[in-house]
Structure 1
Amino acid sequence: MDILFASPDSHRNTDGPRVWTRRLALALAERGKKVGVAVIRRTARAGYLEEQLEGSPVTVFSRDSGSHSENARWIESLVRENRPAVLVAQHHFPALTACYRLRSFPVETVMVMHSDDTLYWRLSDFYLKPGQECPKHLVCVSRYLFDRQTAARVNDDAYEIHQVPYGVEVPPELPAREPNPLRLLYVGRMTQRQKRIRDVVRAFCAACEAVPGTTATLVGAGREEAEVRELAETLPGGSALRFTGLLTAEETREEFGKHDAIVLLSDYEGLPISLMEAMAWGLVPVVTKMTSGIPELVQDGETGLVVDNRGEAFTAAVRALSSDHGLRTRLSEAAARKIREGYGLDQAVGFWEGLIHSARTETGREEVAEIRETGFPRGLWRQPWGDASVAPWYQKPIASLLDALWAFWIRIPVERRVRIKRLFGRRDPEIHAPASP
């Protein structure tokens, strides 16, 4: 096997890392590489990757999620049996722990920083700290993430940092678009966290109400899908909104050809695949100001429009695109050119082909190495994604004792707890705070 991707998976979860995994795995397989994807199911039903890769040349390994240590050992066993040249752990906790356990094995291990999310920074701080020596490569999808990680690196020899943008397929030509009416599109998860989906719906409704003839389509699924559908029905302009639910890649491309602008009003992003795909099809990006990824793609007034807020500023941008067809055409062509010149799929796949080639040609790479039982990274059990089963032997009885004491403590009435605290000089600020005048 040439390359093995590891990823959590769940039904109808189409976030950026999973879409990226599917697309890159298929692209490498089409170029003759032996590709595997190890998925750990979080739901009883088959996940997005399992469904999308069924019947493809990509080999899918799957299992139901167990404890952190069980999942890590399973990924480790797949590497031992299939001997891939590259293990792409991405930001998957068990896979990163497997990288630690595979330090003596001839495999190039890779962590991928997909976003500016706090979780990614915490993962990189833990797994890339001096002494861990895993993984061997860190791939950042944007220049912003690359620069921050480079500045934060302590040991230059411990791992290599690469900037490898997502790659998307570029259509041979842009579809013809009518001057009016303006058709807006959102593609992504239906979640308030990060994506601000409720605010997106409100912004769409306000813009459609303020600019007659404007329509909006929302593509995607998520926990808050039903809620935002109901929200749209209660707001002025909501009748101009259309929800499609989760679509296939082909159906999503058809939607790109029917719309004029792609909208992304998130709090933060990495390098959004849906935005890049839409720009490749000539949709004008309308985005909020973000530090990571977005400025590389969207320059206000050149390759799209950047708005200061999701209210009046967004409505003003919609009004400008609706009334000025020349502006819309110019931004559309510039957006497509931006993706075609620097973010095509072939450019991204080239890096991974090069990494596979260099791993295969290194001295001793073809030899079978024994995997030493190296244990688990120190302090893993303290992490939110950790596993108590890998804690030091003396930690378990201490943790059990503390849990029992806490269970006993919370059964004591609050008034008695306050009196006990007073014996030790402790005062409860909420109970003893002075009354407001």
Structure 2
Amino acid sequence: MEAPAAAPTRHVLFLNWRDTRNPEGGGSEVYVERIAGELVRRGHRATLLCATHSAGPAEETTTDGVRVLRRGGRHTVYLRAALVYLAGALGFGPLSRRHGGRPDLIVDVGNGLPFLSALYARRPVIALVHHVHREQWPVVLGRWLASFGWWVESWLAPRVYRRCQYVTVSAATRDELAGLGIDPARVAIVHNGTPDMTVGPVTRSPQPSLVVLGRLVPHKQVEVALRALARLGAELPGLSLTVAGQGWWEPQLRQLAADLGVTDRVRFTGFVTDTEKRELLAAAWVALTPSLKEGWGLTIVEAGAVGTPTVAFRGAGGVEEAVVDGETGLLADDVDDFVAKVRLLLTDDAYRSTMGEAARAHAARFTWPVSGEKFAALVTRAANVPAGAPVKQMEQSYLLP
């Protein structure tokens, strides 16, 4: 019997507003580049087009073999992506045949605002959505811009991508997309993998300690962590908080720390390397994710991988899957409950230790090779659907978390 023919390789173009070298990059960017790298490992070609920034050149190739093109700025990257693609179709620019050829498929990443590539690209499009931004628009933008952003995300995008395959990272986001009228049968779940969190001999801090890891922007709600520190400080005199990450909201957070009288208990690290991140998470007693909404909660499983449980908010999207409530961490209903749950974990050594070990086992379930295999199958499936043709109902195996 002849062996089955290998699946043809594809050139996949990822459109994302940022990349991991961008100072404002976060978990969405890690996901895109790790998935792109997994596609390259399986013989595909992957190109990422994102916005320019001072920390990266206009073009480079990552160590995973992903070609990165940086064009346009924070707001103009969407238009530049369309122009680069159309120029390639006409035989010019970095996507022309002379420079590697046009893509066979586009992965259009919608971080609130999608690239709307299904309007102009005569190629199959996968719409990748980490989470729906209903609650975040008013926090980040003024009233009118927030209304426009929500209109694009909730009304325009579902119509532009009405014939496209969707991918998201959690069942919670799939449910949110259903609320926008997107048939769950068109939405595949491909979880984040857990990065290698191997660390050397790192001991827990001798005094109670908390850590928050992520971009310093309003919707991450780091203020909740600062208020928890202030409220628990009298009970736990040695308690400290490390805020690891960078972002334009840092001055406001520093001012709040001063107003609360906890400046001497808070350390703002700025950007941290992967090694520093692993060491900070491994040394902390409890990790905090007070974010308003997350598609998944990558930092939660990263903390879990080194045995550190997390406290987060219930109803904050994918965190309800990244945290197994009561087993690998705790989910809070409001700020008072958040503080109470932090207190519980800091004061009950046995409970915290047991939960940390469960978090380690839970994190080990999620790997990038498995996620890459699932995404590669979707690429093959979507690439075989003619551009503009409706995506048929998916096999049940793709729909399960």
Q: TM-score range by the shorter chain?
A: 0.7 to 0.9
1:335 pairs, out of 350, 353, 359, with: 359
Q: Give the root-mean-square deviation of aligned CA atoms.
A: 3.4
Shift of 1:152: 4.8
Equivalent in the alignment of 2:11? 2
> Is 1:74 matched up with 2:97?
no
State the one-letter code of the partner of 1:145: T
Change (3 A) 1:260 1:112: same
Distance 1:52 1:182 in 2: 43
Contact 2:34 2:368 in 1 (8 A): no
> Is 1:357 matched up with 2:383?
no
Q: What secondary structure does 1:19 align onto? A: helix
Distance 2:87 2:162 in 1: 17
Contact 2:204 2:284 in 1 (8 A): no
- Within a 5 Å distance, the mapping from 1:86-105 to structure 2 comes to 86-91=105-110, 96-102=115-121, 105=122
State the one-letter code of the partner of 2:297: P
Change (3 A) 1:122 1:55: same
Distance 2:113 2:224 in 1: 34
Change (3 A) 1:333 1:50: farther
Change (3 A) 1:349 1:201: same
- Within a 5 Å distance, the mapping from 1:70-219 to structure 2 comes to 70-78=80-88, 81=96, 82-91=101-110, 96-102=115-121, 105=122, 107-118=123-134, 119=149, 122-123=152-153, 125-129=155-159, 132=160, 136-150=164-178, 152-153=180-181, 160-171=186-197, 177-178=203-204, 180-192=206-218, 194-219=219-244
1:344 pairs, out of 343, 361, 367, with: 367
Number of equivalent positions: 352
Q: What secondary structure does 2:299 align onto? A: helix
Distance 1:94 1:290 in 2: 22
Contact 1:196 1:267 in 2 (8 A): yes
Q: What secondary structure does 1:96 align onto? A: coil
> Is 1:34 matched up with 2:53?
no
How big is each residue's C-alpha offset from its partner over 1:289-309, in whole Å with a ceiling of 9 and x where there is no partner? Answer: 225212223233222122233
Equivalent in the alignment of 1:434? none
Distance 1:71 1:259 in 2: 41
Contact 1:26 1:58 in 2 (8 A): yes
State the one-letter code of the partner of 2:17: P
> Is 1:60 matched up with 2:68?
yes
Equivalent in the alignment of 1:396? none
Shift of 1:110: 1.3
Change (3 A) 1:57 1:243: same
Distance 2:68 2:270 in 1: 26
Shift of 1:59: 0.8
Equivalent in the alignment of 2:255? 230
Q: What secondary structure does 2:242 align onto? A: strand
Contact 1:109 1:134 in 2 (8 A): no
Change (3 A) 1:113 1:68: closer
How big is each residue's C-alpha offset from its partner over 1:102-130, in whole Å with a ceiling of 9 and x where there is no partner? Answer: 2xx3x33111121231257842531332x
Change (3 A) 1:121 1:254: farther
TM (norm. structure 2) is: 0.76
Distance 2:110 2:305 in 1: 27
Distance 1:51 1:147 in 2: 37
Contact 1:140 1:163 in 2 (8 A): yes
How big is each residue's C-alpha offset from its partner over 1:161-191, in whole Å with a ceiling of 9 and x where there is no partner? Answer: 2122222225469977548532211011212
Contact 2:194 2:368 in 1 (8 A): yes
1:259 pairs, out of 253, 276, 284, with: 284
Q: What secondary structure does 2:71 align onto? A: strand
Distance 1:92 1:148 in 2: 14
Shift of 1:139: 1.1
Distance 1:280 1:135 in 2: 38
Shift of 1:246: 1.2
Distance 2:205 2:213 in 1: 22
Distance 1:54 1:40 in 2: 16
Structure label with greater radius of gyration:
1
Distance 2:377 2:11 in 1: 11
State the one-letter code of the partner of 1:339: A
Greater shift in the superposed pair: 329-338 or 59-68: 59-68
Q: How many percent identity over aligned positions?
A: 24
Change (3 A) 1:144 1:190: same
Shift of 1:150: 3.8
User: Unaligned 5+ residue runs, structure 1?
Assistant: 372-437
Greater shift in the superposed pair: 252-261 or 77-86: 77-86
Contact 1:206 1:237 in 2 (8 A): no
Distance 1:348 1:67 in 2: 27
State the one-letter code of the partner of 1:344: T
